[in-house]
Amino acid sequence: MSEILNYSVENDVAVATIDSPPVNALSHAVRSAVVEGVTRAGADPKAKAVVIRCGGRTFFAGADISEFGKEIRTPTLHDVLEAIEACAKPVVAAIHGTALGGGLELALCCHYRVAVPSAKVGLPEVALGLLPGAGGTQRLPRIVGAAAALDMITSGKPIGAQQALETGVVDALVGETSLRADAIAFAQKLIDTKAPLKRVRDRDEKIKADRGNTKLFDEFRKAHAREFRGFKAPESIIKCIEAAVNLPFNEGMKRERDLFLELLASKESAAQRYVFFAERQTAKIPDIPADAPVRDVKRVGVIGAGTMGGGIAMNFLNIGVPVTLIEQNEEALQRGVSVIRGNYETSAKKGKIKPDDVEKRMQLIAPSTDMSALAQTDLVIEAVYETMSIKKEVFGKLDGIARKGAILASNTSYLSIDEIAAATTRPEDVIGMHFFSPANVMPLLEVVRGRKSAKDAVSTAMTLAKKIGKTAVLSRVGPGFIANRVMSVRGREANAMVLEGVSPADIDRVIYDYGFAMGPFQMMDLVGLDVIGRDSNVKTVASELVRAGRLGQKKGGGYYDYDENRKPTGLSPVALKIIRDVAAERGVPQRRADDAEILARLLYPVVNEGAKVLAEGVALRGSDIDIACIKGYNWPVYRGGPMHWADAVGLGDIVSKLKEFEKRLGEAFAPAPLLEKLAKEGGRLGAAQGASA
């Protein structure tokens, strides 16, 4: 018998328990164990019904994603599902944890499903650039109807057990701590009442009403066009659900299989499966084990109640952690507190949080203009001006106020944590925690490890990140750390190209078509040219636009003109003239560039900068750079991030194009040695490790 299968019979019920940590993913071993258990129960004269359950923390959490792209060994998942459906005895799925993807598809092949109240079920394959390839697109609509299935499968969002019960996905909720016993009792009842063997595939009461209803699907497509832009899987899912509604079951299954295999072979799904694992890799720090000690953080201090400080504070208020919020004066402090309140009230109005959550969270703020109020905090995050002298002054004071063992973090976006730490007598307690604006929304948190940062200070920040719903990426000290550093070259080249005569609108279109939400010039108009241009003491297009009263969308337009609803009405002739004047003053040679050249000029230097970040040991691994750009700059997830995308483009092609640029534009484009090395060796940036710092 498979060593991950436990088989027993209680009363008249066979119980097949599969235990394959960490999440009972439907690997070859798990698939074999399920087939063995069901086959044995089917042949067992003592068994009149079967319960399929899992050990550990969850029911099957889906196909084993690490097996994709490799040769799939039998029994395939389809073999497993056929074995279950062919069973002549009632099969009951006993669900706890997260029955996801193939796990839910397996449960839908059982005749009945029971779940504990804390369980969740869902079909999240779309997040992998896939679709439920084991009947999920054909069976789920037969239970919940086409409209609900469209929402659930194209969003990939799981539903709770109660909603699963109400929609018929599960037949009963059972005791949170008595799943095994209650599932056996449920099965026994089926035997005693000679309950029918219900197969989901035979049900059509929920779909026949939508047969031929093309409007339902076309309207769904229209309503989600923006959200699905650039992704392949959502449209394939819609097609599968249309097939479920309009075709006999087996034909629908064939349609699903064909579209699934198409997605499985796509670059987009390869990128999204890569991101799934890359995202989980970021938490792994070679010299700090996962179970390393962490410091207890019961109260957080935030210095600065401006946009960043307020947003940072909200992350902790959201999880019920009290925050001591410090500002220099009462007026700034109250302004900061009221902005936080305003944010929560907006969220409550939108139904994102419950109305009484607003007060609950606001009461956790202890506002003060006196830094000594930070004495009892366990972690202090400084979010004051990006000026080293001010940060050193703040940390010098903090050193004398914060309790022993408190972690002192700076939200600096590029300054040296080592230099800031030197302003204290406890550099081991000093780290960076770089949030991305808006800090209560953007999922990236760069944890910056100084040369002297203690391991438990770093592991505390990495652990806290997950608790506040952030993806933490570890960075060493370096200019702009990871995301800002590599993405800043995209802005540099965009600005350079417009001075060469390339239209800002063409650049924005190319970057938008690549998959970013908007291009660099639209972004600058949105953020505000006074913000963008404020640090430059040289004459730039941005500074000249500001001088001309063009601050962007918020005032007077920017690169584009806007109507009263802030809808762009086209490139501004004023902006184009400013560009021409600045270019003429600098004597910039004018040239044309096609879309391919624009994309290469903007993104290949990003790849090159990523290779430098790796070679300097600022990032632990290439895939961390990808996660930082996806979570911090919305790099389209179906491209996998700059490193993975470069591997897909071909490092050799990138190197030769960079050399072309270098000849014309200078050594800033010289290919990084690591990039050249990997190109020569056939290595991959996405798999490269950072130099050990």
Which residues, other chains included, contact 680 with Cβ-Cβ below 8 Å and sequence gap of 6+?
A: none
Residue written as token pair 């993405």:
487
Site for ligand T1G in 44-63 (CB under 6 A): 61-63
CB 291 to ligand T1G: min, Å: 12
Site for ligand T1G in 176-195 (CB under 6 A): none
User: Is residue 136 close enough to count as binding ligand T1G by CB under 6 A?
Assistant: yes
Which region among 34-42, 101-109, 473-481, 482-490 touches ligand T1G (by CB under 6 A)? Answer: 101-109
Quickly count helices (H) and strands (E) in the chain. Answer: 29, 19
37, 75, 129, 132: which one contacts ligand T1G (CB under 6 A)? Answer: 132
Q: Are the beta carbons of 25 and 65 closer than 8 angstroms?
A: yes
User: Is residue 336 close enough to count as binding ligand T1G by CB under 6 A?
Assistant: no
Site for ligand T1G in 234-293 (CB under 6 A): 277, 280
CB 635 to ligand T1G: min, Å: 21
CB 292 to ligand T1G: min, Å: 15
d(CA 169, CA 683): 46
The DSSP 8-state label assigned to residue 380 in this structure reads: E
User: Is residue 101 close enough to count as binding ligand T1G by CB under 6 A?
Assistant: yes
Site for ligand T1G in 445-504 (CB under 6 A): none
Q: Which residues is 112 bridged to in the sheet?
A: 92
The DSSP 8-state label assigned to residue 516 in this structure reads: -
13, 49, 119, 128: which one contacts ligand T1G (CB under 6 A)? Answer: 128
**Cis peptide bond upstream of 286, omega within 30:** no
CB 109 to ligand T1G: min, Å: 12
CB 277 to ligand T1G: min, Å: 6
If the CB atoms of residues 67 and 597 are measured against ligand T1G, the closer one turns out to be 67
4, 23, 407, 600: which one contacts ligand T1G (CB under 6 A)? Answer: 23
Q: Are the beta carbons of 487 and 606 closer than 8 angstroms?
A: yes
User: Is residue 154 close enough to count as binding ligand T1G by CB under 6 A?
Assistant: no
d(CA 108, CA 349): 37
Site for ligand T1G in 208-227 (CB under 6 A): none
d(CA 426, CA 401): 12
Q: Are the beta carbons of 44 and 10 closer than 8 angstroms?
A: no
Which region among 5-13, 128-136, 146-154, 567-575 touches ligand T1G (by CB under 6 A)? Answer: 128-136
d(CA 261, CA 258): 5
CB 439 to ligand T1G: min, Å: 23
Residue 304 amino acid letter: G
Q: Are the beta carbons of 255 and 229 closer than 8 angstroms?
A: no
9, 29, 65, 531: which one contacts ligand T1G (CB under 6 A)? Answer: 65
75, 133, 145, 632: which one contacts ligand T1G (CB under 6 A)? Answer: 133
Q: Are the beta carbons of 311 and 659 closer than 8 angstroms?
A: no
Which of the residues are catalytic? 105, 125
User: Is residue 70 close enough to count as binding ligand T1G by CB under 6 A?
Assistant: no
Q: What does the H/E/C string look like for 229-269?
A: CCCCHHHHHHHHHHHHHHCCHHHHHHHHHHHHHHHHCCHHH
d(CA 102, CA 61): 7
Consecutive H or E run containing 655: helix 651-665
CB 129 to ligand T1G: min, Å: 10
4, 16, 25, 253: which one contacts ligand T1G (CB under 6 A)? Answer: 25
d(CA 568, CA 45): 73
Residue window 74-93: x/- pattern of binding to ligand T1G, with contact defined by CB under 6 A: ---x----------------
Q: Which positions touch ligand T1G (CB under 6 A)?
A: 22-23, 25, 61-66, 77, 98, 100-102, 105, 124-125, 128, 130, 132-134, 136, 277, 280
